[in-house]
Amino acid sequence: MKADNKTIAPHGRPSIRIHSNKTYSSGLFVFDINHIPSGCGTWPAFWLLGQTWPNNGEIDIIEGIHNETKNTITLHTDNKCSMQGVKQFMTGAASKYRNCDVHAADQPNNHGCSVSDSKHDSVGRGFNKNGGGVYAVRWERLTGIQIWFFPRRSIPKDIKSGKPTLKNWGRPTADFPFGNRCQHEAFKNMRIVLDLTFCGDLAGIPSISSSYHCPLDCKSYVKNNPHSFNAAFWDINSLKVYQK
């Protein structure tokens, strides 16, 4: 799934978005990827989205902008989920904003609760240079939502065999446990979404573009530089969903 990298697009370079027909309210999702879109102006994402937002939740599994190499994992919900005061057993780093509620009064609007991967090869050029890898999401009523990233050379044998057990996976990159602070009802009837957006409300902000050493006028750059998007494509081996 790739962007148009051949033509100048005076009305904007078309974004791409596909989603599953089926909806899910739990499961183990294993996504094997060779290549994630990267480069100035790009905003790729792999996520789960509830049919009614934000009441049914949003789980951003893979999200990076411009030349980012460290993935950010984020939950967006209504007032039924917060990580404030919750112990998270994970290798990633939680943001200072811990409330997943998109309307939380003490946070920027729609910020959610996010975790940054410590690995510099979890998205973008680093990910692609290393041959990609696997993202796995466990979403269960008893345990909550846990997300792992395994670089290509570190994929567990049980994933390779198609019989995942989770026994030797170690700590997840991100851990969002369910309990009194975060209810499982905050996430239901969700579709799998894969997309490639250009600029937008995040990558299109001039100050953010500047921090990645990208052109300040994102829209103009994306319109007029098709050959800059040779790396703006998804190359996917498989997406497997396991349910009990």
Q: 118 lies in which domain range?
A: 27-198+227-242
- Is it the case that residue 244 has pLDDT exceeding 90? no
Q: pLDDT averaged over the chain?
A: 97
Annotated catalytic residue: which of 63, 68, 140, 185? Answer: 63
**How far apart, in whole angstroms, are the C-alpha atoms of residue 147 and residue 46?**
12
For 95-141, what is each residue's pLDDT tens digit?
Answer: 999 999 999 999 999 999 999 999 899 999 999 999 999 999 999 99
Residue 129 lies inside a defined structural domain of this protein: yes
* 211 part of a folded domain: no
Say if 147 falls within a structural domain.
yes
| Burial of 139: CB neighbours in 10 Å, binned 0-12, 13-18, 19+ | buried
Q: Is residue 215 part of a domain?
A: no
* Average pLDDT estimate for 142-148: 98
pLDDT band at 193 (very low <50, low <70, confident <90, very high): very high
| CATH number for the domain that contains residue 78 | 2.60.120.200
> What is the structure's pLDDT at 109?
93
Q: What torsion, rounded to 10 degrees, do the Cα atoms 169, 170, 176, 179 define? A: 100
* Sign of the dihedral defined by the CA atoms of residues 200, 203, 38, 160, in that order: negative
**Would 54 be classed as within a structural domain?**
yes
Q: What is the pLDDT of residues 148-165, one digit of tens each?
A: 999 999 999 999 999 999
Classify residue 8: in a domain, yes or no. no
Residue 206 placed within a domain: no
Q: What percent of the chain has pLDDT over 90?
A: 98
Please state, in angstroms and rounded to a whole number, the distance separating the CA atoms of residues 243 and 123: 27
DSSP string of 110-172, one letter each residue: T--EEEE-S-TTSSHHHHHHTT-EEEEEEEETTTEEEEEEEEGGG--HHHHTT----TT--S-
- The domain tally of the chain equals 1
Instruction: Note if 185 is an active site residue.
Output: no
Domain assignment present for 11: no
56 C-beta neighbours (distance < 10 Å), count: 21
Answer yes or no: pTM beyond 0.85: yes
Q: What is the mean pLDDT of residues 185-213?
A: 96
Percent of the chain with pLDDT over 70: 100
Residue-wise pLDDT for 204-230, tens only, equals 999 999 999 999 999 999 999 999 999
Are 203 and 43 in contact by the 8 Å Cβ rule? The answer is yes
115 burial type by CB count under 10 A (0-12 exposed, 13-18 middle, 19+ buried): buried
Name residue 146's amino acid: Q
Asked about 63 being catalytic, the answer comes back as yes
